Structure 1
């Protein structure tokens, strides 16, 4: 009897020692993952809700290690832990800036980090590196205790253990994923709402599904999209281009177009003051002389600044993951520059930074700009922020533009007010009061500087008579204050007990259209967005508007703003996708979805899928080729 007990104890001890490292890895990775889930779900976090999919997904992956023996198993578990730890650090930084989950495609954008290393530094917290501590400690421990870590059984036993773990964990995991597909049928296949997926089934499941979708999409893209689907998309866009009025149609024909995209310019600074001083006095003045859109949203995704350019110049949605400027730079586009070229315009893109940043030197060719002027075309005589100061850049740009062949379309992108706004000496000494030393205070100082330079530039255009025959369009590109610093912005706006609706309502950027001699000035309060800019300009200049997902804001009565993550608003109601809630904008309370709201949601998802099809299959090339054939008939 004693021998049996001794043998049993030895067998249990042997079993535990053999599986010690697997148990450790499961526990360690689960704790790390739960910690990340708390970060992305500060309000609705529930350990009971998230633990089953998190734990089961980790067990499924760790069970694979049982198919290896000795060093192979140890290495598999170590690198699984290491990869998840690095991903969680990257995901944490990405969430603080984008309020989203990092996708496999986004890694392509990593090459841009050399240009914005200071931004990354501010988004990474020292506490993030706790994820890596055990990975460092394990290196010597694995060597010291390799006798324990490398204990193994014969393959039959290991395979049986693998099957047992798989049979326990896999059904739990599949059930959670299945529940999500029942709740929102197309969510996992489209990955349109990454945050919600990660919150419901865990970040490990999200990363696995995302990797599968990215790879399978690339394989699908090699196949031609069925003609019926192409026709469906064409017909949908044709309906989008039907208006009952023709306000301002052709009103700007033959005039120059000066379009200015301003780095991190947001709506909340317009008309606002600090200690009695206007933050943007020059833009306030020019908006008073223009047609000003005060409910205009940015719609950028992973490509941030480049996405704003992409939306505004093509009226297509950003890539579902990664940056369209990289992912789809070899596609054909029916861009604003292309349409202007067809109307005998000289088209240029102009900024003072590195030519290849955001792959602009390649993408501007795809968008058919005649010329691209960048850092190499300028005298770098003063730097503020990332590079050449807006002051020097605009001062050097104005005489260049004066010599352009008319009519011209010039697309200008500012730089100095770039996150993290750390060049306070270069910006000057605008009094930001109690926000001095905070990210918000630094931003207010930075945007005040850019406002002064834009005011000088616009005033000089006017003094030299260049606005007598020009339309000026100016808008902000994306958010200024990332999610991790939002509390100061809520305080600045005097928002108490903020909701996700409050956060979304702060994601507006100003946009105005200035006509010669200050004609047509006023305020348009319709809810609108960057995807609507191109069709609005196309109407003014009498251009073709066949293939645009946006609306002509001068002839639209009811507009719906759709965001890349599936959220949308019509100005009365707001659907926040990452919490799957509908809000009444007036009373800020959640409501039950009506059949009309459900239809809006379906239409928003349809638009995103159609836009993805156009990008993934380079459909614009096919559409334009078909149009060319039709004209010849």
Structure 2
């Protein structure tokens, strides 16, 4: 074996120095390429290698600087392990992005145990090309064995410390330039972490996860401290602003009537009134929409909590967590929820879902929100499975039987399951009826259409049975979709289905609507309402109809608020005229579909959205419901 020594020959010195630091050279090149390639993959439009190169290399060099504190063999092992960790994070980020159109965070990682039982969903998000991120790790295994045996001269400790300090501080200063520029360009972004895609796109994956860990730790510590009185007053002001109502339209209209809310898994608006091979995808929902007040500009506003976030928004009218799932993070909080306020009015309240009781921490969170009972998987006979578990057909039939025994008036919160991603139980969807999806047969979109057609059939029978049993005469029925169905991974299939030839970020956002309708007894107040709205608006709307207190809400009463606005967890917003897309910083005129320059008005609206999100976070993180005394 060749022995590396202190030859006076300059060529030998160069060769020795090169071989001695091969581990560093390979680490810098390979990890930099991986982070850059990943950044390009998650970029929805603008992406500049020139812009991101500096922070990416700086973040990699900081790791190299830390490795120099170790002796050669341990340094090589350290860099090899860090390469593995970074590669795993990148692959996990890609899978997460393909479904959620977001970047994984510590809060989302904490939620991982809540997602047991959906392995097929997760597995379908990985691609064969993801192996490129780990192929070097596999190939380097035999080379590592040889390299660790090489006789590389060790630097003295003082030399290693000095070199490490120079590289860490130099790379840190370079990195800080990029971070400071981002903080200046997008005030509040790094504090709220509301737009993780944008942060990753301009700073790189390593920097994002480092900042995420820092902010998570800082927020955890800060949340243990009491808020200053001034901060509490600011939060109180945000909530009080939402109490203002210009009219009392339909106030108390539903007082004393039962309330049945149906949250439908992965129901997006683009399937409403759509046809495939001449047949309606959702004939039953289409029929009931005509008999109801239908809100056709209703958006989901979920974050990492997905289905559970939709429940949280609808029952509490505050925003989901910036990182992680509200159902996990805030299960120890006090809530002024819809089931609580109805319970205070003498209602019996029950949540109903045919899946695992502990999934998304429901068994704990439903109690925290003051539901009297939760009927989960253990309360149903699992006699027919479709998708992840109990079929919607059996679940809805059994739920109706349970409702017959409920003390009136009651509030039933019903959550369906069968149309859950990845929509691969085609055999289950077609047990009772074959649905011809034409050219989409065998595709992701085709499977989804079959899944949602199956759900529509079961929902139609359920609603018809409610009418036959007389519930429609003394009940308000609300139905809405919980979140998107088509992840970005299959977005081209969505564009093809809706006939979108020139997609952009605003058009993608406009497709993130979910249907929502409110059915009144005797089909009163039916019609289409074009108000721009979101899931956070459901509770205040129902509070008006049931004449309930409206404190601690950040949503709008859709029957009385004229200037509604939809704010999304990532800081994007729309007021029905302008659409702001936070991850690109672009504003669009909805009417023309064209980009418009930032002006003082839209800038103020953007800042107000961030303030609302921050107020919601502080309100929840510090469990302020007893201290604020909203409305007083």
TM-score after normalising by structure 2: 0.97
| 1:128 match | 130
Deviations 1:380-437 (A, max 9, x none): 1100000000001111111110110000000000000000100101111211111111
Distance 1:556 1:570 in 2: 12
Distance 2:353 2:557 in 1: 27
| 2:166 match | 164
Q: Which runs of 4+ in 1 moved over 6 A?
A: none
| Cα pair 2:114 2:361 within 8 Å, conserved | no
Distance 1:623 1:558 in 2: 25
Q: 1:579 is paired with a residue of what secondary structure?
A: coil
Q: How does 1:249-268 map to 2 (within 5 A)?
A: 249-268=251-270
The equivalent position to 1:316 in structure 2, one of 315, 318, 322, is 318
**Is 1:75 aligned with 2:80?**
no
| 1:518 match | 523
Shift of 1:622: 3.0
Distance 1:500 1:60 in 2: 35
CA distance 1:507–1:149, change in 2 (3 Å): farther
| 1:364 match | 366
**Is 1:286 aligned with 2:288?**
yes
Shift of 1:16: 1.8
Distance 1:172 1:140 in 2: 35
Distance 1:15 1:163 in 2: 20
| 2:418 match | 416
| 2:514 match | 509
Gaps of 5+ in 2: none
Shift of 1:497: 2.1
**Is 1:182 aligned with 2:187?**
no
| 2:194 match | 192
Q: How does 1:589-628 map to 2 (within 5 A)?
A: 589-623=594-628
| 2:48 match | 46
Cα root mean square deviation, aligned: 1.6
Distance 1:523 1:415 in 2: 27
Q: How does 1:394-413 map to 2 (within 5 A)?
A: 394-413=396-415
Gaps of 5+ in 1: none
Shift of 1:519: 0.8
Deviations 1:89-110 (A, max 9, x none): 1000011011111111110121
| 1:470 match | 475
Distance 1:23 1:4 in 2: 21
Q: 1:67 is paired with a residue of what secondary structure?
A: coil
Q: How does 1:194-209 map to 2 (within 5 A)?
A: 194-209=196-211
Shift of 1:129: 2.5
| Cα pair 1:30 1:58 within 8 Å, conserved | yes
Deviations 1:516-545 (A, max 9, x none): 111110111010000000000000000000
Q: After alignment, is 149-158 or 465-474 more displaced?
A: 149-158
CA distance 1:112–1:150, change in 2 (3 Å): farther
| 1:338 match | 340
More helix by share: 1
Distance 1:382 1:150 in 2: 66
Q: After alignment, is 490-499 or 39-48 more displaced?
A: 39-48
| Cα pair 2:55 2:174 within 8 Å, conserved | yes
Shift of 1:43: 2.9
Distance 2:70 2:287 in 1: 70
Distance 1:313 1:148 in 2: 64
The equivalent position to 1:84 in structure 2, one of 77, 83, 86, is 86
| Cα pair 1:18 1:152 within 8 Å, conserved | no
Shift of 1:133: 2.0
Q: After alignment, is 502-511 or 46-55 more displaced?
A: 46-55
CA distance 1:5–1:394, change in 2 (3 Å): closer
Deviations 1:568-600 (A, max 9, x none): 000011000000100011111111112110110
Deviations 1:358-392 (A, max 9, x none): 00000001100000001111111100000000001
Distance 2:169 2:233 in 1: 45
Q: After alignment, is 468-477 or 324-333 more displaced?
A: 324-333
Distance 1:410 1:149 in 2: 72
| Cα pair 1:308 1:478 within 8 Å, conserved | yes
Q: How does 1:438-449 map to 2 (within 5 A)?
A: 438-449=443-454
Shift of 1:150: 5.9
Q: After alignment, is 274-283 or 121-130 more displaced?
A: 121-130
The equivalent position to 1:576 in structure 2, one of 574, 578, 581, is 581
CA distance 1:350–1:154, change in 2 (3 Å): same
Distance 2:92 2:552 in 1: 36
Q: How does 1:481-500 map to 2 (within 5 A)?
A: 481-500=486-505
TM-score after normalising by structure 1: 0.96
Shift of 1:79: 1.6
| Cα pair 1:142 1:149 within 8 Å, conserved | no
| 1:543 match | 548
| 2:558 match | 553
Q: 1:34 is paired with a residue of what secondary structure?
A: helix
Q: 2:176 is paired with a residue of what secondary structure?
A: helix
Distance 1:364 1:129 in 2: 41
Distance 1:150 1:514 in 2: 77
